[in-house]
A and B are shown apart, each in its own frame.
Chain A
Amino acid sequence: MNENELELVRRQIQLTFDEIQYLIRMLYSTKDYHTKNLTLNQLWNKVSLLHFLTNMLDQQQISSTVTPTLPQPSQPAPPSHMNQTTPQTVPQNLPTITREQLANATGRNGNPAYVAVGGIVYDVTNNKAWSAASHFGLPAGKDLTAEFASCHAGQQWILSTLKPVGRLV
């Protein structure tokens, strides 16, 4: 972002604050149920917009190479330091996990949800993209190296967002 664009974002933030204040005053002054609901919904929108705008400024500070584009389904631009094609640096002292143990980690009935990619086992129990311990038809408890390679080629950074828990033996 250049100076002009930064300025625009700041101005938007300021305007959004003003609008939020206006909406709050409106909530106090109306008795109409529908107007209240509508106003609350608008407030929610404004807060999310603020969230988005401040994130954009934060990102700008972390690394000026990250362009805050609109989110793409193929993942937003990964921070450049995560953009390497070799597996991420994982802790050396990980315990070994057998294929049997992996097969039990289905994320059901009290078992954690594990998936293996490239010999490393990751915990996806609470990963947002793995609700119901499954992701695009893939169940947890499996070695998904091939699937990861075909579906997320060039997106190695995804692995670095996961928690490594062991080495597959």
Chain B
Amino acid sequence: MIDPHHVLPPEDMSNEAIVRRLTEQANVRIQNGQLKKKKLVWLELTGCSGNIISLMNGFNPNLEYMLTLMVDLVYSNSLMAAEGEEAIERLMSVLDEEFILAVEGAVATKNNGLYNVIGRWRGKPFTALQAAKMLGEKASHVIAVGACAVDGGPSAAKPNLAECVGLSDIVKRPMIKLPGCPCHPDWFLGTLAHLLMNGVPELDNMDRPLLFYSTLIHDRCPRRPFFDKGIFAKTLGEPTCLFKLGCRGPVTRVDCPTRKWDGYVNWPIGASTCIGCSQFGFPDKMGPFISYDITRE
């Protein structure tokens, strides 16, 4: 059935408009008291901080909007002023309250988690593994942000010395997964706004919001006419289809071709192959990223 609340043209149906609509609505409802600002904990485990950096590049809305109008950010080791034990103290203080947990980075499991210590608490090392379990159990909602949190990602790539795994291997509960290396700011902010207003967005069978992860890159790729005619680039500089060089657009489901990155100006296939960073199994299963000896014809 088609839902009567669906937005139809002539309303703007573009990707930017969808996220803008969600976040603006969330703000209006918070302002007029229909919604209460929720607490957000952003936990950074074993990764490269790429997702929080990506989030700071958000435009629709931007980070400031999120921090001042949408949520009450209790903890983020990259953004908060507190440090050391005082910071961990804040993290612990949230345990008795309602909060949304966003996790970036994989969970290092070797030696009982000692390969990634994220702070000290009561004089003892506090590991990513402990943090994931402790907060994961208590949160009202959990969002795994980026490839590492979703299924290990680059942190779990061979030889995976720290024995990294995705969050869902450690925290057994329903969670929203936002794969991508990094996660696009809109994917996170749009999901967060949806969560605040309407609860968990509709997810596919791998727990990704259909809102963002339902179309194959290949199906919306501007180079697609070249693929259909069998015109394949031999080097990265050519404007034709990158299939023979190893493009993973045909097995990757996400809205990069229409959303684009860095303030909506460009995206990977604008310059090179898609490396499947938003697909499960990235990076090991998405290799080789580029090859020059593939048979044409």
Q: Please give the residue numbers on chain A whose beta carbons come within 8 Å of chain B beta carbons, in ascending order.
A: 4-5, 8, 12, 15-16, 19, 41-42, 44-45, 48-49, 70-74, 107-113, 125-126, 128-129, 131-137
The answer to whether A73 and B205 have CB atoms under 8 Å apart is yes
The answer to whether B206 and A108 have CB atoms under 8 Å apart is no
The answer to whether A133 and B204 have CB atoms under 8 Å apart is no
Query: How far apart are A129's CB and chain B's nearest CB, in angstroms?
Result: 5
The answer to whether B250 and A5 have CB atoms under 8 Å apart is no
Q: Sort A-B residue pairs by CB-CB distance and give the 10 closest, nearest first.
A: A132-B246, A128-B250, A137-B285, A136-B285, A132-B291, A15-B9, A108-B293, A70-B214, A131-B243, A109-B293
**B68 touches A (CB below 8 Å):** no
Stretch at the interface among B54-62, B91-99, B103-111, B216-224: B216-224
Partner of A45, one of B1, B14, B285: B14
**B37 touches A (CB below 8 Å):** no
Contact mask for chain B residues 226-257; partner A; CB cutoff 8 A; 1 contact, 0 none: 01001000000000000111111011010000
The answer to whether A113 and B295 have CB atoms under 8 Å apart is yes
Of chain B, the residue at the smallest CB distance from A112 is B295
Q: Please give the residue numbers on chain B whose beta carbons come within 8 Å of chain A beta carbons, in ascending order.
A: 1-2, 8-10, 13-14, 204-206, 208, 210, 213-216, 218-220, 222, 227, 230, 243-248, 250-251, 253, 258, 281, 284-288, 290-291, 293-295, 297
Per DSSP, are chain B's interface residues mostly helix, strand or loop, or mixed?
Answer: loop
Query: How far apart are B1's CB and chain A's nearest CB, in angstroms?
Result: 7
User: For residue A73, which residues in chain B have a CB less than 8 angstroms away from its CB?
Assistant: 204-206, 208, 213, 253
* Complex: A73 Cα to B230 Cα, angstroms: 25
The answer to whether A132 and B294 have CB atoms under 8 Å apart is yes
Of chain A, the residue at the smallest CB distance from B249 is A131
* Complex: A71 Cα to B244 Cα, angstroms: 25
The answer to whether A8 and B230 have CB atoms under 8 Å apart is no
Partner of A44, one of B216, B222, B286: B222
User: For residue B8, which residues in chain A have a CB less than 8 angstroms away from its CB?
Assistant: 12, 15
Query: How far apart are A15's CB and chain B's nearest CB, in angstroms?
Result: 5
User: For residue A72, which residues in chain B have a CB less than 8 angstroms away from its CB?
Assistant: 204-205
Partner of A71, one of B1, B230, B253, B285: B253
The answer to whether B227 and A133 have CB atoms under 8 Å apart is no
User: For residue A128, which residues in chain B have a CB less than 8 angstroms away from its CB?
Assistant: 218, 227, 243, 250
The count of A-to-B residue pairs whose CB atoms sit within 8 angstroms is 90
The answer to whether B2 and A8 have CB atoms under 8 Å apart is yes
The answer to whether A111 and B295 have CB atoms under 8 Å apart is yes
User: For residue B1, which residues in chain A have a CB less than 8 angstroms away from its CB?
Assistant: 5
Listed A/B pairs (30) with beta-carbon separation below 8 Å: A12-B8, A15-B8, A15-B9, A42-B14, A44-B222, A45-B14, A48-B220, A70-B210, A70-B214, A73-B206, A74-B205, A107-B295, A108-B294, A108-B295, A125-B297, A128-B243, A128-B250, A129-B251, A131-B244, A131-B248, A132-B288, A132-B294, A133-B291, A133-B294, A134-B246, A135-B251, A136-B281, A136-B285, A137-B281, A137-B284
Query: How far apart are B268's CB and chain A's nearest CB, in angstroms?
Result: 14
Query: How far apart are A2's CB and chain B's nearest CB, in angstroms?
Result: 9
* Complex: A73 Cα to B216 Cα, angstroms: 9
User: For residue B222, which residues in chain A have a CB less than 8 angstroms away from its CB?
Assistant: 44
Partner of B13, one of A45, A129, A136: A45
User: For residue A132, which residues in chain B have a CB less than 8 angstroms away from its CB?
Assistant: 244-246, 288, 290-291, 294
User: For residue B258, which residues in chain A have a CB less than 8 angstroms away from its CB?
Assistant: 41, 44-45, 48
Of chain A, the residue at the smallest CB distance from B232 is A126
Of chain A, the residue at the smallest CB distance from B6 is A8
User: For residue A125, which residues in chain B have a CB less than 8 angstroms away from its CB?
Assistant: 295, 297
Query: How far apart are B251's CB and chain A's nearest CB, in angstroms?
Result: 5
Query: How far apart are B133's CB and chain A's nearest CB, in angstroms?
Result: 28
The answer to whether B216 and A134 have CB atoms under 8 Å apart is no
* Complex: A110 Cα to B296 Cα, angstroms: 7
The answer to whether B9 and A19 have CB atoms under 8 Å apart is yes
